């Protein structure tokens, strides 16, 4: 067997936190190798070692049998490691070709443009990554931007690709296209490391999987030998419940009522939310389904007060709130888990305690005559860290030092525990492991059963279908339909998301 990558006994610690310990795994030439692990298991740290951002404290990394010592990402790129990050690093105003060449020829104003375009064309044909080299990146959909990132590393002669949660921001169709691209790499002998929390994806595209637990690798397996459930159990170390138990609904008064809501983009050029009317009542979860970019973010930003409205009304607990600031809306009983956790959800240089009481820092019991009661704040935080399994269990750890999934847990713990009348959650489980998803879903259902109102925005159709009582489907800023979750199938929601009608689908099915 020919190994491209061999990781031997790697260890990496950040002061007292050992992020990687005794890490061992091998990647074969031409295989898709998934890395699975709970939030905080050490996957990102390991990948940062492989791409030269961190140096290991101990152990060895070998490429094609040769030990390598990367001092910087540049060294790793030169050795053929191509990392495609979750958050793209592209310059929107430049073309595809310019973005691809940039970085390889820094500051090169006089680079060989025709040659570069030719090379990009050649690469996109070879790997079936079809894209127009002259298109402006700002005009491309997310899936195509990701192609540019992949082409960028291929242009630098990558011999192995690392894809870090590559489908987190993709539509199901874009994910399918990505999997075809990955299959192509495989055919051409290029190894791919694939990090994902989505076990179905791992099952369908990976050949082998290495599982990490608490910083250590606990084994590598052929994917064909494992079921999705077994993968989940290996990762979490216990049985994971996939099916949710939903209690019968007890609907109460209207908590949120949006009427004829009109929201434009910041420059007021385009309508983002087009005359939307929607109600959320006590004891129900209303899911908002839609392909990314169809007005979901603007809708919830308008309700929470982060985005100005251009028309219509928003009533919360019977009171018109569209002129209230977002902090006044929070005081009135609204809680919000934003889509962009690093921008709005957390203050990254603050520790977990400070982030946990962020919204209530000036109020009792955390403040007394203007003085922060640190002990009270800490004893409020610690049980929440246990309940939400926030790792490491150090309440004074800075948010920026937490893994992505653990950052998300801090926000959810804070917002859910504030006991709001209305909870608005956007992509609540993005980047979370299966065990954490199970817990969050149970918490959302508990709030619903306690009579709270929940507005759930998610790109995960299965999440919308399993949690929601009613589903509002958005397309191009409009609500196509509001349907009962019990009476609609996954395919029907998919059709509505594309702006098509269900009747057409039903007629087609009848005719078959
Ligand atoms: N720069 C840092 N400083 C201090 N601690 C860190 C740093 N980076 C990571 N850690 C810690 O190392 C551990 C592993 O984190 P890592 O980000 O590698 O996990 P992960 O498996 O990628 O998690 P997730 O699935 O949530 O992204 C965590 O406990 C994290 O808090």
Closest protein CA for atom 5 of ligand 1 = 401
**Cα 402 to middle of ligand 1, angstroms:** 5
Phi and psi at 278, nearest 5°, equal: -160, 145
State the pLDDT at residue 292. Answer: 80
Closest ligand 1 atom, residue 15 Cα = 4
Phi, psi (5° rounding) for residue 502?
-70, -35
How far, in Å, from the CA of 19 to the mean position of ligand 1?
6
Cis peptide before 265 (omega within 30 of 0): no
For residue 162, list its beta bridge partners.
83, 193
* Burial letters 204-214, b for 16+ CB under 10 A, else e: ebbbbbbbbbb
Other CB atoms within 10 Å distance of the CB of residue 265: 11
Neighbours of 448 (CB within 10 A): 24
The DSSP call for residue 131 is -
Q: Is 367 left (phi over 0), alpha (psi -120 to 50) or beta?
A: beta
Residue 316 phi/psi, 5° resolution?
Answer: -125, 120
Gap from CA of 432 to ligand 1 centroid (Å): 13
CA dihedral angle for residue 324, residue 327, residue 333, residue 336, rounded to 10 degrees? 110
Residue nearest to atom 7 of ligand 1 (CA): 401
CA of 195 to the centre of ligand 1 (A): 14
What is the secondary structure of 13-59 as a DSSP string? EETTEEEEEEEEEEEETT-EEEEEE-TTSSHHHHHHHHTTSS--SEE
Cα–Cα distance list, 272 to 101, 266, 276, 389 (Å)? 34, 10, 10, 37
Residue with CA at minimum distance from ligand 1 atom 17: 403
Q: What is the pLDDT of residue 479?
A: 94
Q: Can you tell me which atom of ligand 1 is nearest the CA of 392?
A: 29
Question: What's the 494 CA to ligand 1 centre distance in angstroms?
Answer: 35
Q: What residue owns the CA closest to ligand 1's atom 1?
A: 401
Count of CB atoms situated within 10 Å of the CB of 124? 21
Q: Which residues contact 347 (CB under 8 A, 6 or more apart)?
A: 354, 355, 358, 399
Domains and their CATH numbers in the chain: 3-236 (3.40.50.300), 250-333+422-512 (3.40.50.300), 344-419 (no CATH)
Which residue has the CA at smallest separation from atom 28 of ligand 1? Answer: 40
Ligand 1, atom 8: closest residue by C-alpha: 401
Residue by residue, pLDDT tens for the chain (512 residues) are: 689 999 999 999 998 889 999 999 999 999 999 999 999 999 999 999 999 999 999 999 999 999 999 999 999 999 999 999 888 889 888 889 889 987 665 555 566 777 878 888 888 888 888 898 889 998 888 889 999 999 999 999 999 999 999 988 787 778 888 999 999 999 999 999 999 998 999 999 999 999 999 999 999 999 999 999 999 999 887 777 667 788 888 899 999 999 999 999 877 778 999 999 999 999 999 999 998 889 999 999 999 999 999 999 999 999 999 999 998 999 999 999 988 777 778 999 999 999 998 887 777 788 777 777 888 889 999 999 999 989 999 999 999 999 888 999 999 999 998 889 999 999 999 888 888 898 889 999 999 999 999 999 998 888 999 999 999 999 999 999 999 998 888 888 888 888 877 665 555 555 55
pLDDT attached to residue 46: 97
Which mutation among 21, 45, 53, 195 tests ligand 1's pocket best, with the greatest number of atoms within 8 A of CB? 45
CA distance 408 to 342: 9
The verdict on ipTM greater than 0.90 is yes
Which atom of ligand 1 is closest in space to residue 391's alpha carbon? Answer: 29
Flag whether the pTM goes above 0.95: no
Mutate which of 10, 21, 40 for ligand 1 pocket (most atoms within 8 A of beta carbon): 40
CA of 351 relative to ligand 1 center, distance in Å: 15
Mutation to probe ligand 1, out of 37, 352, 402, 403 (largest number of atoms < 8 A from CB): 403
Residue ranges lining ligand 1, Cβ < 6 Å: 14, 17, 19, 37, 39-45, 391-392, 401-406, 431
Q: Which SS3 state, helix, strand or coil, does residue 249 take?
A: coil
> Which of ligand 1's atoms lies nearest the C-alpha of 46?
18
């Amino acid at each position: 067997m020919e190994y491209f990558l061999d990781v031997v006994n790697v260890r990496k610690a950040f002061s007292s936190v050992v992020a990687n310990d005794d890490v061992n795994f091998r990647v074969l030439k031409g295989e898709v190798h998934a890395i699975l692990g709970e939030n905080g298991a050490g996957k990102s740290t390991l990948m940062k070692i492989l791409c030269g951002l961190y140096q290991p404290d101990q152990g060895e990394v070998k490429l094609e049998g040769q030990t390598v010592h990367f001092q910087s990402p540049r060294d790793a790129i030169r050795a053929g490691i191509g990392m495609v990050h979750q958050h793209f690093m592209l310059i929107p105003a430049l073309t595809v070709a310019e973005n691809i060449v940039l970085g390889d020829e820094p500051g090169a104003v006089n680079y060989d443009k025709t040659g570069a375009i030719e090379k990009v064309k050649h690469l996109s044909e070879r790997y079936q990554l079809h894209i127009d080299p002259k298109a402006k990146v700002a005009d491309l959909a997310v899936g195509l931007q990701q192609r540019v990132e992949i082409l960028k590393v291929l242009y630098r002669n990558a011999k192995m690709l690392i894809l870090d949660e590559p489908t987190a921001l993709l539509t199901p169709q874009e994910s399918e296209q990505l999997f075809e691209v990955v299959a192509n790499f495989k055919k051409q002998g290029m190894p791919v490391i694939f990090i994902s929390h989505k076990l179905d994806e791992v099952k369908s595209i990976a050949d082998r999987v290495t599982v990490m637990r608490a910083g250590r690798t606990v084994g590598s397996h052929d994917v064909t030998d494992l079921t999705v459930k077994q993968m989940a159990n290996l990762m979490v170390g216990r049985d994971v419940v996939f099916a949710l138990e939903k209690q019968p609904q007890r609907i109460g008064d209207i908590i949120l009522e949006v009427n004829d809501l009109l929201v434009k983009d910041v420059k007021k050029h385009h309508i983002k939310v087009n005359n939307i009317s929607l109600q959320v009542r006590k004891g129900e979860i209303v899911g908002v389904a839609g392909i990314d970019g169809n007005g979901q973010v603007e809708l919830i930003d308008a309700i929470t007060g982060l985005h100005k409205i251009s028309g219509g009304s928003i009533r919360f607990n019977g009171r018109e709130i569209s002129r209230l600031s977002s902090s006044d809306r929070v005081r009135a009983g609204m809680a919000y888990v934003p889509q962009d956790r690093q921008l709005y959800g957390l203050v990254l240089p603050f520790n977990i305690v400070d982030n946990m009481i962020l919204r209530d820092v000036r109020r009792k019991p955390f403040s007394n005559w203007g003085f922060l009661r640190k002990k009270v704040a800490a004893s409020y935080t610690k049980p929440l860290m246990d309940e939400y399994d926030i790792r490491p269990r150090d309440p004074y750890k800075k948010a920026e030092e937490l893994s992505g999934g653990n950052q998300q847990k801090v926000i959810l713990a804070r917002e859910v525990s504030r006991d709001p009348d209305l909870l608005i959650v956007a992509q609540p489980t993005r980047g979370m492991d299966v065990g954490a998803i199970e817990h969050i879903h149970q918490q959302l259902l508990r709030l619903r059963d306690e009579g709270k109102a929940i507005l759930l925005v998610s790109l995960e159709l299965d999440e919308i279908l399993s949690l929601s009582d009613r589903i509002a489907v958005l397309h191009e800023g409009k609500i196509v339909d509001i349907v009962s979750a019990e009476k609609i199938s996954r395919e029907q929601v998919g059709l509505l998301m594309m702006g098509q009608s269900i009747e057409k689908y039903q007629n087609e099915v009848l005719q078959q």
